A and B are shown apart, each in its own frame.
Chain A
Amino acid sequence: MTYIAKPKFHHPGLPKNELGYTHRDYEGKISTLCAGCGHDSITASIIEACYELSIEPHRVAKISGIGCSSKTPDYFLGNSHGFNSVHGRMPSVLTGANLANRDLIYLGVSGDGDSASIGFGQFAHSIRRGVNMTYIVENNGVYGLTKGQFSATADFGSKSKKGVTNTDNAIDLVAIALQLGATFVARSFSGDKTQLVPLIAAAIRHKGASFIDVISPCIAFNNHAGSTKSFDYVREHNDAVNRLDVLVGREPIAVDYAPGTVQVVEQHDGTKLALRKLDADYDPHDRLGAQNFLQKHAAKGQIVTGLLYVDPEAEDLHAHLDTVETPLNTLDEKALCPGSAALDKINASLR
Chain B
Amino acid sequence: MKPTDISAPDYFHKVVDCQWACPAHTPVPEYIRLIADGRYSDAYMINWKSNVFPGILGRTCDRPCEPACRRGRVEENPVAICRLKRVAADFKDNVQHRMPKPGPKNGKRIALVGGGPASLAVARDLAPLGYHCTVFDSDPKAGGMMRSQIPKFRLPDSVIDEETGYILGLGVEFKGGHRVDSLKKLLAENYDAIFVGSGAPRGRELDIPGRKEAASNIHIGIEWLANVSFGHVDKIGRRVIVLGGGNTAMDCCRTARRLGGSDVKVVVRSGFEEMKASPWEKEDAMHEDIPILNFMVPVAFIHNNGKLTGVTFQKVKAEYDAKGRRNLVPAGEPDQTIPCDDVLVAVGQENAFPWIERDCGIEFDKWNMPKVDPKTFVSTNPKVFFGGDAAFGPKNIIWAVAHGHDAALSIHKLLSGEDINERPLPEVHVSSQKMGIHEWSYDNDISADKRFKVPHRDKVIALKDIRAEVELGYDVKLALGEAQRCLNCDVQTVFSAPLCIECDACVDICPMDCITFTENGEEDDLRQRLSAPSPHHDQALYVQDGLKTGRVMVKDEDVCLHCGLCAERCPTGAWDMQKYLIDMTYAGSTCQTKARSAA
Contacts and interface: CB of A to CB of B under 8 A. Distances in A.
Interface string A12-28: 11110000000010000
B438 A43 contact: no
B596 interface: no
Interface string B562-583: 0101001111100000000000
Interface of B is mostly: loop
Contacts of A43: 508
Contact of A35 (B445, B502, B570): B570
Contacts of B8: none
B508 A9 contact: no
A100 to B, nearest CB: 34
B503 A3 contact: no
A217 B511 contact: no
A44 B504 CA distance: 10
A217 B535 contact: no
A36 B501 contact: yes
B563 A7 contact: yes
A1 B570 CA distance: 11
A295 interface: no
B99 interface: no
Interface string B552-569: 000000010101010011
B513 interface: yes
Contacts of A52: none
Contact of A6 (B501, B505, B509, B559): B509
Contacts of A235: 548-549
A232 B503 CA distance: 10
A133 to B, nearest CB: 24
Given A4-B444, A43-B508, A231 B568 contact: no
**Residue among B73, B445, B505 facing the most chain A CB atoms (10 A cut-off):** B505
B565 A36 contact: no
B571 A191 contact: no
B508 A40 contact: yes
Given A13-B532, A13-B535, A191 B568 contact: no
Contact of A12 (B73, B448, B571): B73
A191 B505 CA distance: 10
Interface residues of B, number: 34
B569 A6 contact: no
A41 interface: yes
B504 A14 contact: no
A4 B443 CA distance: 10
Contact of B448 (A7, A31, A219): A7
A12 B74 contact: yes
Interface string B422-450: 00000000000000001000001110100
Contacts of B570: 35-36
Nearest to B571: A36
B504 A9 contact: no
Nearest to B564: A4
A31 B565 CA distance: 11
B181 interface: no
A190 B507 CA distance: 13
B74 A2 contact: no
A181 B586 CA distance: 77
B549 A9 contact: no
B536 to A, nearest CB: 10
B503 A38 contact: yes
A219 B569 contact: no
B533 interface: yes
A34 interface: yes
A223 interface: yes
Contacts of B73: 12
Given A7-B511, A9-B74, A13-B532, A37 B505 contact: yes
Contacts of A4: 444-446, 563, 565
Which 6 A-B pairs give the minimum distances between C-beta atoms?
A36-B571, A7-B446, A13-B533, A11-B532, A44-B508, A36-B503
11 contacts: A5-B445, A6-B565, A10-B512, A11-B512, A12-B74, A14-B532, A30-B509, A35-B505, A36-B505, A37-B505, A41-B505
Interface of A: 1-15, 24, 30-31, 34-38, 40-41, 43-44, 190-191, 193, 217, 219, 223, 231-232, 235
Given A13-B533, A34-B571, 4 more contacts: A7-B563, A11-B533, A12-B74, A37-B505
